[in-house]
């Protein structure tokens, strides 16, 4: 009898343990399911590339289709070029989880933009030999005014990442256009200057023989591009004529590519890589994490107070709401770099004013968004 009683107690204990394990398993599964749902909700982002059929747009779209962050589920391609549909079909054959939609023509821009979390804009014409950024402005300003107006109607809450040159003028043009439409959010409008950092890092690393990170501030055209070698991640002993030469190379790296291509194109592949890199950082920010290792050309209150430049490229922190803070990176520059910044300020101010003035003009005949 005692033995039977002990067996009964052991069985009851085993049953309780089994029930407890079952409850724990169910709770674990529920937690896992909840985490999975959260993960799914945070990776379900739609990116729209405006100018997707061009020299920047195609490789940029390819890199976004690769989905290195795992955060993109939908990629919307837009351009006026008929080949855009073919670009979409081509990309759709790549085995990643990103769905591709392709839209052609002005009447389809609304469909392309609708539902986008990020709109990245390489649309416009590329720079050719002998073509100044002012020449480029005259064509690309009309295109960007048209896109910004459509953006305001169909995706006003998305992040707008501007690649179209000249960025120094295009971002202010977008800001003014969105303000006119009553939807301007300075935290979500950014000019992509990542290529300047790419160049500074590459040129410095080639000299140093190891990886170097160098912040680049100011603008995104010629002398407005100021690499801060003194703040590089590795000590750089750049002096005299060599310092001038490598600084100038970063400032005019775009000219180097245009000349090397002999008029057949501009910096499309490197810009696409830099653009994709910045989009990925924005996706990480949208997913709920704070991103603190980026630089972008944004509305910058501290730069405006210091230099009178409403927009300025400097270090930023981002989260799901866009730019959290733009930092006065230039305050840590050395004497050489501070002098370069002071010298370029008048040009940057003029380029900012040019974009705003264009946006205020009557552009009833604005040009469509063309490939870049």
Instruction: Give the CA angle between residues 91, 97, 103 to the nearest 5°.
Output: 45
Give me the mean pLDDT over the 9-21 stretch: 55
Confidence at residue 138, expressed as pLDDT on a 0 to 100 scale:
84
Same domain for 188 and 233, yes or no, is: no
Residue 30, pLDDT > 50, answer no
Confidence at residue 135, expressed as pLDDT on a 0 to 100 scale:
77
pLDDT digits (tens, 9 = 90+) for 295-308: 999 999 999 999 99
Please check whether residue 365 lies inside any domain of the structure: no
Same domain for 188 and 326, yes or no, is: no
Confidence at residue 127, expressed as pLDDT on a 0 to 100 scale:
67
Tell me how far apart the alpha carbons of residues 208 and 261 are, in angstroms, rounded to a whole number: 27
167 or 371: whose pLDDT is higher? Answer: 167
Give me the mean pLDDT over the 333-337 stretch: 98
Same domain for 225 and 115, yes or no, is: no
Percent above pLDDT 90 for the chain: 79
pLDDT digits (tens, 9 = 90+) for 158-188: 999 999 999 999 999 999 999 999 999 999 9
Please check whether residue 231 lies inside any domain of the structure: yes
Please check whether residue 370 lies inside any domain of the structure: no
pLDDT digits (tens, 9 = 90+) for 258-281: 899 998 889 999 999 999 999 999
pLDDT digits (tens, 9 = 90+) for 206-219: 999 999 999 999 99
Residue 285, pLDDT > 90, answer yes
Please check whether residue 325 lies inside any domain of the structure: yes
User: Which domain CATH number covers 238?
Assistant: 3.90.110.10
Residue 323 structural domain? 194-350
Confidence at residue 40, expressed as pLDDT on a 0 to 100 scale:
40
Percent above pLDDT 70 for the chain: 84
User: Which domain CATH number covers 73?
Assistant: 3.40.50.720
Residue 39, pLDDT > 70, answer no
Give me the mean pLDDT over the 314-324 stretch: 98
Same domain for 178 and 232, yes or no, is: no
Residue 364, pLDDT > 70, answer no
Q: How far is CA 362 from CA 145, 164, 302, 354, in A?
A: 11, 21, 31, 14
Same domain for 141 and 256, yes or no, is: no
Tell me how far apart the alpha carbons of residues 91 and 175 are, in angstroms, rounded to a whole number: 32
Same domain for 184 and 48, yes or no, is: yes
Please check whether residue 24 lies inside any domain of the structure: no
Please check whether residue 145 lies inside any domain of the structure: yes
Residue 362, pLDDT > 70, answer no
Please check whether residue 19 lies inside any domain of the structure: no
Please check whether residue 277 lies inside any domain of the structure: yes
Same domain for 169 and 301, yes or no, is: no
CB atoms within 10 A of CB 215: 25
Confidence at residue 102, expressed as pLDDT on a 0 to 100 scale:
98
Tell me how far apart the alpha carbons of residues 140 and 368 are, in angstroms, rounded to a whole number: 10
Catalytic center residues: 220
Tell me how far apart the alpha carbons of residues 110 and 12 are, in angstroms, rounded to a whole number: 66
Give me the mean pLDDT over the 308-328 stretch: 98
CB atoms within 10 A of CB 45: 21
Confidence at residue 209, expressed as pLDDT on a 0 to 100 scale:
96
**Pairing of the two strands 159-162 and 189-191:** parallel
How many structural domains does the chain have? 2
Average pLDDT for the chain:
89
Residue 17, pLDDT > 60, answer no
Same domain for 56 and 180, yes or no, is: yes
Confidence at residue 3, expressed as pLDDT on a 0 to 100 scale:
47
Residue 41, pLDDT > 50, answer no
Same domain for 277 and 330, yes or no, is: yes
Question: What is the sign of the dihedral through the CA atoms of 130, 131, 132 and 133?
Answer: negative
Same domain for 161 and 73, yes or no, is: yes
Q: What is the 3-state secondary structure (H, E, C) of the chain?
A: CHHHHHHHHHHHHHHHHHHHHHHHHHHHHHHHHHHHHHHHHHHCEEEEEECCCCCCHHHHHHHHHHCCCCCEEEEEEEECCCCHHHHHHHHHCCCCCCEEEEEECHHHHHHHHCCCCEEEECCCCCCCCCCCHHHHHHHHHHHHHHHHHHHHHHCCCCEEEECCCCHHHHHHHHHHHHHHCCCCCHHHEEECCHHHHHHHHHHHHHHHCCCCCCCEEECCCHHHEEECHHHCCCCCCCCHHHHHHHHHHHHCHHHHHHHHCCCCCCCCHHHHHHHHHHHHHHHHHHCCCCEEEEEEEEECHHHHHHHCCCEEEEEEEEECCEEEEECCHHHHCCHHHHHHHHHHHHHHHHHHHHHHHHHHCCCCCCCCCCCC
Same domain for 272 and 340, yes or no, is: yes
Same domain for 216 and 331, yes or no, is: yes
What's CA 50's distance to the chain center, in Å?
13
pLDDT digits (tens, 9 = 90+) for 101-155: 999 999 999 999 999 999 999 999 876 667 676 777 888 999 999 999 999 999 9
Tokens coding 54: 């061009």
């Amino acid at each position: 009898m005692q033995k039977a009683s002990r067996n009964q107690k052991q069985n009851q204990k085993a049953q309780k343990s089994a029930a407890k394990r079952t409850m724990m398993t169910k709770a674990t599964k529920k937690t896992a399911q909840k985490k999975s749902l959260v993960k799914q909700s945070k990776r379900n982002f739609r990116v729209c590339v405006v100018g997707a059929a061009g020299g920047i747009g195609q490789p940029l779209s390819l890199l976004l289709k690769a989905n290195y962050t795992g955060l993109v589920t939908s990629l919307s391609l837009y351009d006026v070029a008929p080949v855009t549909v073919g670009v979409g079909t081509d990309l759709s054959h790549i085995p990643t989880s990103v769905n591709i939609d392709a839209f052609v023509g002005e009447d389809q821009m609304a469909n392309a933009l609708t539902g986008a979390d990020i709109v990245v804009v390489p649309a416009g014409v590329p720079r050719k030999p002998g073509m100044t950024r002012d020449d480029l402005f005259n064509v690309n300003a009309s295109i960007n005014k048209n896109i910004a107006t459509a953006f305001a109607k169909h995706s006003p809450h998305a992040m707008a990442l501007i690649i179209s040159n000249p960025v120094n003028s295009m971002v202010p043009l977008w800001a003014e256009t969105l303000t006119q439409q009553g939807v301007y959010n300075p935290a979500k409008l950014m000019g992509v200057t990542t290529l300047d950092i790419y160049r500074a890092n590459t040129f410095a690393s080639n000299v140093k023989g190891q990886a170097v990170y160098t912040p680049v501030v100011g603008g995104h055209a010629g002398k407005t591009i100021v690499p801060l070698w003194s703040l590089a991640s590795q000590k750089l002993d750049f002096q005299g004529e060599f310092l001038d030469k490598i600084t100038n190379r970063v400032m005019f790296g775009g000219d180097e590519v245009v000349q090397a291509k002999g008029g057949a194109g501009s910096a499309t592949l490197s810009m696409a890589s830099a653009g994709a890199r910045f989009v990925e950082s924005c996706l990480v920010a949208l997913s709920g994490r704070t991103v603190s290792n980026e630089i972008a050309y944004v509305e910058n209150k501290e730069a405006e107070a210091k230099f009178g430049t409403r927009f300025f490229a400097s270090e930023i922190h981002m989260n799901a709401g866009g730019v959290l803070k733009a930092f006065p990176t230039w305050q840590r520059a050395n004497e050489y770099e501070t002098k370069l910044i002071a010298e370029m300020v008048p040009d940057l101010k003029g380029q900012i004013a040019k974009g705003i003035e264009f946006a205020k003009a009557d552009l009833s005949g604005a040009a469509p968004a063309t490939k870049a």
